[in-house]
Amino acid sequence: MTPQLDLRNVTKRFGGVAAVDGVTFSIAKGEILGVIGPNGAGKTTLLNCISGVYRLDGGDIRWHGVSIAGLARLGVGRTFQIVKPFGSMTVRENVAVGALFGSDSERPPLRAAFDRADSVLELVGLRMKADLPVSALTIPDRKRLEVARAVATRPKLLLLDEVMAGLNNVEIDDALEMVRAVHETGVTVVLIEHVMRVIVGVCERVIVLDLGRTLADGQPDVVLRDERVIQAYLGERYARRLRGG
């Protein structure tokens, strides 16, 4: 079967430096894939390649077998590491904007966009806060909103860039419930995280990037015990913690 997303030898350079250097992997429809790796390994650059922010310097990205230039219209939604809501709008209005500029070929009428916003807010657990200004949201809720805006575009593939950073374990567990709820609607999810509670909690598969290349690719419980991953990324103390020591 053709994978939903297929990366072949994807390369992106900045000046002389290859931030992403010949990365190859594919994602099946409905998968949840984690991407981890040291700061500067190329994780966000890779997301930017998939979502069409950058033009590739080499390789190819195929969406259901067809080479793509990215963009929301194809059905790729994403969040940003630094949350970027429209500050003067309400929560509901922010999500409606996502619905208006989403992956459907025609722009929906305003009423339909707000209906879509309401159902997404229900899904991510923000329904009670729909009419609040964004400024009134707590940090965990702002992250929910960031996800809601991306989900409102009706993505088939959702890219989440460190949406759990700065949350404590209990807040993370709540956020994981949200990711599961979104995933259950049939969306494929790729998420970048440094928080292993997230990777272990929700990912079926994890890819480790190091220096722009794929260091490991497999089930979290196998990959996180890989000595090379511990050396390059996790460190000894964290590896012990994961083992429950």
Partner 1 sequence: MAAEPLLHIKGLTAGFAAGPVLFGINVDIAQGELVALVGANGAGKSTLLGTLSGLVRASAGRIAFSGRDITNQRPEAIVMAGLAHVPQGRRLFDTMSVEKNLRLGAYARRDGNIDAELRNVLEYFPALKDKLNREARTLSGGEQQMVAIGRGLMARPKLLMVDELSLGLAPKIVDRLIDVVKEINTAGTALLLVEQDVLVALDVAQRAYVLENGRIVLAGAAADVKDDPNIRKAYLGL
- Contacting positions for partner 1 (CB under 8 A): 37-40, 81, 138-140, 162, 165-173, 194, 196-197, 232-238, 241
Residue closer to partner 1 by CB (options 117, 124) is: 124
Which amino acid does the sequence have at 195? Answer: V
Among residues 1 and 170, whose Cβ is nearest to partner 1?
170
Distance in Å, CB of 198 to partner 1, minimum = 12
Residue placing its CB nearer to partner 1 in the complex, 227 or 236: 236
Q: How far is the CB of 194 from partner 1 (least distance, A)?
A: 6
Smallest gap from residue 98 Cβ to partner 1 (A): 23
Rounded to whole angstroms, how far apart are CA atoms 34 and 220?
Answer: 9
- Write the CB contacts of 145 (distance below 8 Å, at least 6 apart in sequence): 83, 85, 91, 94, 95, 124, 126, 134, 137
Closest contact distance (angstroms) between CB of 232 and partner 1 is 8
Separation CA 186–CA 156 (nearest Å): 8
Name which of 112 and 230 has its Cβ closer to partner 1.
Answer: 230
Measured in residues, the chain has a length of: 245
E-strand ranges in 87-162 read 157-161
Q: Around Cβ 72, how many Cβ atoms within 10 Å?
A: 18
